[in-house]
Structure 1
Amino acid sequence: MMFRRVVFFLASFLHAGVASSLFSTPVKTVTISGGTHGNEYTGIWCIKAIEKQRELFNANAEATGAPDTKVINVFKEYPSLSIDTLLANPKAYMANRRFIDTDMNREFSIKKLQHTTETCSEENDASCDSSQASLPYESIRAKEIESMFGAPKTGSTGGDGDANSDIVIDLHTTTANMGITLIFTEGDALMSAAAAYALHKCKTEYGYEHVHILLLPKTEKNDRTNLPSVGKHDFTIEVGPTPQGVLRHDIVEQTEAALHSLLEFLHLSNMELENKTTGATVLDRLRSAFPNGVPCYQSAPAVGAKELHGKIQWPTLDDNPNFPAAMVHKSLQDRDYQPLRTGDPLFVGLDGSVIPYDGSYGDEVLLMFVNEGGYYYSSSGTGIGVAVFSRYDFETGINVEA
């Protein structure tokens, strides 16, 4: 315990300069995206609800409903933020499909974006309007979205340029029993503090066992393949379990609770800067709530090019890479964030044989995205996610050994 406290103190001290500069600048623009996967209807509902809130706010009207209805209008509650929405994959949304050609949440690395640009240029089609025969729709749409945000990866700066949005929050759902999972990349101090605030607030209503933080391994921004990486800061909210192509009121409420907590943190931080607060700040409250670091799950590094995090892959059929040749063992179903040990049942083959875990990620790991429906697709990266329990310093976003 003493060693961990020393490590935590040193990490906080060494990164204090970076953290202080981040927390001294107000957040101005936030983009909330939904429908990156077209059959994840919760995020789409949420952004459409936000646009309805904008309409009511501009008309100086109130939402109708029962007297006890807790309707939050984000434009009224968080006025220091300029909030926009993005329907990320409109074609897949209309078709009620995860994607049309390929997983769009794997298309935002600078390598892929530059390939799209070069292919369009070779076809003398700078806008990519007529190149759909040779490029996946999602590749073209990803390039369009990156351009909307000022081409922060492929612009004249050669990558890592200024994005038009300070923060992009991408809303997702999962068929796995993940509860409310808040996802960001290690090293992002602002997002790590926002996640800690959302965790602390959401646990009051849903309990710690239902709210989790997933820390993705630190990677260069230009190498990140997910949509929110086009913002200066990127964040993902993942809520489940819920079926694909279905709206569940409780899942929408949980998604909105997490989203509102993030926006509240950003707005409170802005107000403290504007008013030059001298008393206890929102960061002071987090220091009190998490004196030894924020509990989180550290995902294993991605191995495959189509992965956002490390996975234990299941075998697939030769004639269909999207169909498992072995299914997830019943003992693991709905047991996200629970341990798996070497020798434990993992998969069941077509012949009924049980395939045990071989210890490839360590003698004991924690599983996540267990039997996630979206991970049946080869372009999304098949398999079960792997993580370990850890803690991080919310003022730096740096992982601290648990």
Structure 2
Amino acid sequence: MDKIKQVAIVGGVHGNEFSGIYLIKQYQAKPDLASRASFNTELVWANPEAHYANKRYLHSDLNRQFKNTDLANPRLANYEQSRAKVLNAQLGPKGDAKTDLLIDLHNTTSNMGACLILTQAGPFYNQLAAYVKMMMPEAIISRDEDHFAAEEHALMCTVGRYGVLVEVGPQPQSVLRQDVLELMDCMTQHILDFAELYNSNSLPALPKQTEAFRYLHSIKLPMNDKGERLGMVHKNVQDKDYQPINPGDPIFTLFDGTEIYYDGDTTVYPTFINEAAYYDNNLAMSLNEKVWITLD
């Protein structure tokens, strides 16, 4: 049977997302919290220099550096690009990884609650989603472009043989919140428990269907032809992550008071609404469709 023998829990891929860093510190102080009998756990602080600078990153987003082609390109050598190669050697190499399960911890300024993000499909992920949702009903399950092969993904978690992100918010950048840290710990503990039960073939009966959301595309804030912002996320959408937007619903308010309406023809579910880290790209939100994960 497929076994999880080596787990890595990674915090601080983004230097100003504090919960993952401090959860790693808690686990380092009390290793039993992150360990289970059937596997070893490595605790990794991914981007310390960005944290010391109190920035998301120094030169480029570390969580966008893990495509196979980029890892193999020696000309990509700024701090985060070099750091990605070090982490890939430590935990991977991607495609033949020594790490069986990589859990990557993140915060968002958006009101997403506790979100388990899956970047791959398959029986292991389907069972994990069903287990986490069963044990933690408030959890959101996100299938983020899981139709792409791992080598096409640039995310840190795809270095592992299996990999997931734990994304929790809302939390401002460079701030700690107890409720957010506790949600992150809770979800991480459920993932570790799942791996232990998976290894011993002793998972409980799982729900046959689990609600999830699949990423469709992102939309930008309204801008003029000079790239200047003309408006903001509509107050009816703000903080309503994973709540439905129907055709014709207002999604933006321009500074002159004009409302802009969603012009799609199907209901969608927004997330990463007004995420502060995405303002450099003027991204307003990501849109998702609701899907169901079905167990055989």
- What TM bracket, shorter-length normalisation? over 0.9
Counterpart secondary structure, 2:56: coil
The corresponding residue for 1:299 is: 215
Counterpart amino acid of residue 181 in structure 1: C
> Could you tell me the percent identity over the aligned residues?
33
What runs of 5+ residues in structure 2 fail to find an aligned partner? Answer: none
Counterpart amino acid of residue 340 in structure 1: I
The corresponding residue for 2:275 is: 372
Are the counterparts in 1 of residues 104 and 164 from structure 2 also a CA contact under 8 Å? Answer: yes
Residue by residue over 1:155-189, the C-alpha shift from the partner in whole angstroms, topping out at 9 and shown as x without a partner, is xxxxx3x1010011001111111111111124232
In the alignment, the residues of structure 2 paired with residue 343 and residue 93 of structure 1 have an alpha-carbon distance, to the nearest angstrom, of: 42
The corresponding residue for 1:285 is: 205
Are the counterparts in 2 of residues 324 and 376 from structure 1 also a CA contact under 8 Å? Answer: no
Counterpart amino acid of residue 37 in structure 1: H
Counterpart secondary structure, 2:105: strand
Aligned residue pairs total 295
The corresponding residue for 1:147 is: 89
Bigger fraction of residues in helix: 1
- Given the superposition, is the C-alpha separation of residues 366 and 263 from structure 1 closer, same or farther in structure 2, using an over 3 Å criterion? same
Are the counterparts in 2 of residues 195 and 262 from structure 1 also a CA contact under 8 Å? Answer: no
Counterpart secondary structure, 2:127: helix
Query: Which one of 106, 118, 122 corresponds to residue 172 of structure 1?
Result: 106
In the TM superposition, what are the counterparts of 1:100-111 in structure 2 within 5 Å?
Answer: 100-111=58-69
User: Does structure 1 residue 199 correspond to structure 2 residue 199?
Assistant: no
Counterpart secondary structure, 2:290: strand
What runs of 5+ residues in structure 1 fail to find an aligned partner? Answer: 1-23, 58-72, 121-134, 153-159, 204-209, 273-280, 301-309, 396-402
Query: Which one of 80, 89, 92 corresponds to residue 138 of structure 1?
Result: 80
In the alignment, the residues of structure 2 paired with residue 136 and residue 174 of structure 1 have an alpha-carbon distance, to the nearest angstrom, of: 25
Query: Structure 1-normalised TM-score?
Result: 0.69
1:247 shift after superposition: 1.0
The corresponding residue for 1:331 is: 236
The corresponding residue for 1:163 is: 97
The alignment yields a C-alpha RMSD, in angstroms, of: 2.0
User: Does structure 1 residue 232 correspond to structure 2 residue 152?
Assistant: no
Counterpart secondary structure, 2:22: helix
1:200 shift after superposition: 0.8
1:332 shift after superposition: 0.5
The corresponding residue for 2:38 is: 80
The corresponding residue for 1:215 is: 143
In the alignment, the residues of structure 2 paired with residue 313 and residue 136 of structure 1 have an alpha-carbon distance, to the nearest angstrom, of: 28
Counterpart amino acid of residue 74 in structure 1: A
The corresponding residue for 1:257 is: 186
Are the counterparts in 1 of residues 57 and 80 from structure 2 also a CA contact under 8 Å? Answer: yes
In the alignment, the residues of structure 1 paired with residue 92 and residue 9 of structure 2 have an alpha-carbon distance, to the nearest angstrom, of: 16
- Given the superposition, is the C-alpha separation of residues 92 and 317 from structure 1 closer, same or farther in structure 2, using an over 3 Å criterion? farther
In the TM superposition, what are the counterparts of 1:116-135 in structure 2 within 5 Å?
Answer: 117=74, 119=75, 135=77
